[in-house]
Structure 1
């Protein structure tokens, strides 16, 4: 028993003294320039997908400088929304292929506080174009929606999202 233990200790020592060869990563990693070019390419492809959707559906949409696509059906009345306004809205959220993601029909009206991080950046931008009672369609490219990861449930990676919104009210 003692002999087996001694052999085990000696073998462990020999193995630990031989660092062996380090594995080399032969795959070159893309630099900043390559990543920037890839990002430009993906943004352009997303834009093409959105334009194809708009044409296929016969929609009249505008594009904001930030890349949000929107069609204001009714601006609403009163003052435009601003940071920290609590908004209650009905909504339908779907992908470009028509796959339904979320809607107020299944979960009830959504209450959101404008400017908070839990809201998609594109939806945050779009709601600022509305007043209480306003209605709009927003198309969010991935970089203004859930990006590379998706939401982990119904919205896949790099998805373009279409929102149909009707603001019901603001809450004080």
Structure 2
């Protein structure tokens, strides 16, 4: 009887050592949703960039600059070289005011509606276009930025006044820069 139990245990051990077989999904997606989403976003970006380029072409009073980060801007007030040569870097504390409007100059957030903001560069939450734009500024400068929706508030908006996929115009005045070295 002991031999029978021993043989049974050996056979069950060999059978249980079988490697598991892969389970395949019942249904497979073709990836068409992702392809449709990519096509939609490319079309949306092309429309927004076209509208921004029309605004730039029709405004001969300003000298627009295309940034490498996917937005355009011009100086309202350029800082004198004697005021500051420093641009904000990671960890610096900046103080600024800004207001936001549509590309058609319809105000979304009036000047003064948002309080003066103190921001630790790249260490706090701020929409990506403004985060990149502030790094181009010097203390005392005022710049107007034209952001396509993906550099502004994107698909989600700001959950208040700015809706889904809205390109915006933002005018920012940078009041001060406190370098990270002086904060420590």
User: Normalised by the shorter chain, which TM-score bucket?
Assistant: 0.7 to 0.9
Partner SS, residue 162 of structure 1: strand
* 2:78 equivalent in structure 1: 74
1:61 and 2:99 are equivalent in the alignment? no
1:97 and 2:104 are equivalent in the alignment? yes
- Asked if the contact 2:139/2:177 (under 8 Å) is kept, the reply is yes
* 2:164 equivalent in structure 1: 157
- Asked if the contact 1:104/1:110 (under 8 Å) is kept, the reply is no
* 2:9 equivalent in structure 1: none
What's the TM-score, normalizing by structure 1?
0.74
Segment drifting more, 94-103 vs 81-90? 94-103
CA–CA distance in structure 2, aligned partners of residues 141 and 40 of structure 1: 12
Residues 100-125 of structure 1: CA distance to partner in whole angstroms, max 9, x if unpaired?
22244223322222213521111111
Paired residues for 1:103-142 under 5 Å: 103-142=110-149
What's the TM-score, normalizing by structure 2?
0.69
Give the unaligned 5+ runs of structure 2. 1-29
Partner SS, residue 149 of structure 1: coil
- Asked if the contact 2:99/2:114 (under 8 Å) is kept, the reply is no
CA-CA distance at 1:31 after TM superposition: 3.9
CA–CA distance in structure 2, aligned partners of residues 106 and 146 of structure 1: 18
Partner SS, residue 79 of structure 1: coil
Give the unaligned 5+ runs of structure 1. 1-27
Task: Show structure 1 runs of 4+ deviating over 6 A.
Answer: none
- Asked if the contact 2:154/2:165 (under 8 Å) is kept, the reply is yes
User: What is the count of residue pairs matched by the alignment?
Assistant: 145
Partner SS, residue 154 of structure 1: coil
- Asked if the contact 1:75/1:129 (under 8 Å) is kept, the reply is no
Rg larger in 1 or in 2? Answer: 2
Cα 1:111–1:103, aligned 2, differ >3 Å: closer, same or farther?
Answer: farther
